[in-house]
Amino acid sequence: MNMVFIGHLTLDDVVLPNLPIQPDNAGGAALYAASGAHMWQRKDLFLLSRRGTDLDLSFLEGSGLDTSFVRIFPDIPTIHLFTMYDRMNLRYFIVQRWAGSYDKMAPRPYEFPQELLNSDSCFHVAAFPLPRQRAVIEQLPDNALISVDPHHDYIYPEQHGIWDALLKKITVFQPSEDELIRYFSIQPLPEPHDYLPYMKALSDKGPRIIVLKLGSRGALSYDSASDRLCFAPPCPAPVIDVTGCGDCFCGGFLASFIADGDIQTALYCGSVSASFNITHFGVSENFAVSAAEVTERYNLYLSQLKGEKT
C-alpha cells in the first residue's frame, strides 16, 4: 500500500543547554514521520510538501521515498526553526523571521496528484497549523485510511467544533500526552492507563484507533473495534536529541499497522523507529538505518520486554 506523508519540511537549528548549537538539520514533521515508516517499508512512500531551494534532499536518493511531489519555491526559503530546549527540558519552536512561514510552506490540497488520491493509499497528515491541516484532511478520500497528528497550538477546547467534524473522517488519531491534556483541559495523570476514558471519548467521535504518545513513558493505544488497550514502553537508546521522535513514532506505528493490523506490534515498531531517531541530530541518518539493524533492535527490544515479564 502507498504511504503518503503530508506536512512541513524544515531546517532546524537545535539549541540544547550547555551544548553548541546544531545548525541546519533537515527535518519537519512529515519527513520525520516518513523516516519512521521507512524503517519498516522501503518503497511506495510519498512526500507531499513545500520547500525552498536551500533544503537539500539529495540524501533521500535511493531511499524509496518519492519527493517528486514536493513543490519547490525559488523565491521563498524553507522554514528555518530554532528548536530550543531549556534547563527544565521544555521545548520551544521559534520560526526565524527571514525564513518561510508555516502558512506559506504548508501543502495545499490542489497540489496533490490525483493518482495518489485515487490509489490504494493511506495518508499521514503530520502536525501543522489547523487551518491548513483542516483543508488537507477535508480533501482526502472519505474511504481512505487517514492518520493525523494534531498541532500542539491547535488542540484547545475552542477548536473542539473543528475537530468534532474532522475526527469523523480520521482512522488513526495520534496526539501526544500534552495535546490530550490541552484538548480535555485536564492535569497530567500519574499512570498511562488512567487516560483510557479520554481516549475512548476521542474514539467515540470517529477514529477507530487512538494512539497516545507519552514520551519517555512510552505509548498507549486504544482500538475501538476490539475495545483493546495496548501499551509499549520506550525502546532503550542513548538520548542525543528528541526532536522528531513523536513524528518518527507515528510513521513506524502506521507502517506496521497497515502491514498486519496488529496494534500491539505497531506500538513496538513505532517505539523502535523513535529509538533510532533519538540518537542523533536531524532526520537524514534515519534513512541510512538498514533493515537488518531495525530487525536486530526490534528483536532485542522484544527479548528485553519478555525478560521484564518473567
Q: Measure the CA–CA gap between 80 and 111, rounded to whole angstroms.
A: 22
Q: Measure the CA–CA gap between 32 and 50, rounded to whole angstroms.
A: 15
Cell numbers for 222: 486504544
The pLDDT, as a whole number, for residue 282 is 95
The pLDDT, as a whole number, for residue 119 is 77
Which strands sit side by side in the sheet containing 219-223, from one edge to the other? Answer: 65-66, 45-48, 2-6, 121-125, 145-148, 172-173, 209-213, 219-223, 228-232
The pLDDT, as a whole number, for residue 79 is 98
Nearest to 250 by CA among 78, 12, 35, 95: 35
Instruction: For CA atoms 276, 278, 280, 283, give the dihedral sign.
Output: positive
The pLDDT, as a whole number, for residue 309 is 65
Find out whether 172 and 208 touch, Cβ atoms under 8 Å: yes
The pLDDT, as a whole number, for residue 87 is 87
Backbone angles phi, psi at 232, to 5 degrees: -135, 130
Count Cβ atoms within 10 A of the Cβ of residue 261 and give its class: 0-12 exposed, 13-18 middle, 19 or more buried.
Answer: exposed
Could you list the mean pLDDT of each consecutive 10-residue stretch along the chain, which spans 310 residues? Answer: 97 93 96 98 96 97 96 97 91 95 96 89 97 97 96 96 98 98 96 97 98 97 97 96 96 97 97 97 96 98 84
pLDDT tens per residue across span 44-99 = 999 999 999 999 999 999 999 999 999 999 999 999 999 999 988 889 999 999 99
The CA–CA distances, whole Å, from 124 to 34, 150, 291 equal: 9, 11, 22
Pairing of strands 50-52, 65-66: unpaired
Chain centre distance of CA 252: 9
Question: Helices then strands (H, E): number in the chain?
Answer: 9, 15
Find out whether 7 and 126 touch, Cβ atoms under 8 Å: yes
Percent of the chain with pLDDT over 70: 99
Nearest to 281 by CA among 80, 14, 58: 14
